[in-house]
Amino acid sequence: MKKFIAIAISLYSIVLFADNTQAGINFIFGIPQGEFRDNVDRLGYGLGGRLAYQPNGIFAIGGALGILSYGNQTRQEPFSYTIPDVTVDVTTSNNFLFGHIIAQIGAPMGYVKPYIEGHFGFNYLWTDTRIESNESSDSDDVIASSTNFEDFTFAYGGGGGLMVKVYEKRQRHSRKIIHHKKNNSDFGKVYIDIKAIYTSGGTAEYLKEGSIHQGENGTVEYDISKSKTDLLTVQVGVGFEF
How many whole angstroms separate alpha carbon 124 and alpha carbon 110? 38
Distance between the two ends of the chain, CA-based, in angstroms? 27
How many whole angstroms separate alpha carbon 238 and alpha carbon 191? 6
How many whole angstroms separate alpha carbon 195 and alpha carbon 137? 33
144 is a domain residue: yes
Q: Any long-range contacts for 167-171 (C-beta under 8 Å, 24+ apart)?
A: none
**pLDDT computed for residue 178 by the predictor:** 44
Q: Where are the alpha helices (DSSP H) in the chain?
A: 2-15, 34-39
User: Contact at 8 Å (CB) between 64 and 97?
Assistant: no
Residue 168 pairs in a beta bridge with 189
How many domains does the structure of the chain reveal? 1
**pLDDT computed for residue 215 by the predictor:** 72
By residue count, the chain amounts to 242
199 is a domain residue: no
User: Contact at 8 Å (CB) between 96 and 225?
Assistant: no
**pLDDT computed for residue 138 by the predictor:** 56
| Neighbour count for residue 199 (Cβ, 10 Å) | 23
How many whole angstroms separate alpha carbon 115 and alpha carbon 187? 20
Tens-level pLDDT at each residue, the chain (242 residues):
555 555 555 555 544 445 689 999 999 999 999 999 999 989 999 999 999 999 988 999 999 999 999 988 887 877 777 777 778 888 899 999 999 999 999 999 989 999 999 999 999 999 999 888 777 655 567 788 899 999 999 999 999 999 999 998 866 555 544 444 444 444 589 999 999 999 999 999 999 988 888 777 777 889 999 999 999 999 999 999 88
237 is a domain residue: yes
Q: Which amino acid is at 44?
A: G
202 is a domain residue: no
User: Contact at 8 Å (CB) between 66 and 29?
Assistant: no
How many whole angstroms separate alpha carbon 159 and alpha carbon 232? 9
**pLDDT computed for residue 74 by the predictor:** 85
| Full-model pTM | 0.81
How many whole angstroms separate alpha carbon 150 and alpha carbon 127? 6
Chain-centroid distance of CA 20 in Å reads: 23
- The parent domain of residue 66 ranges over 2-171+208-241
**pLDDT computed for residue 47 by the predictor:** 98
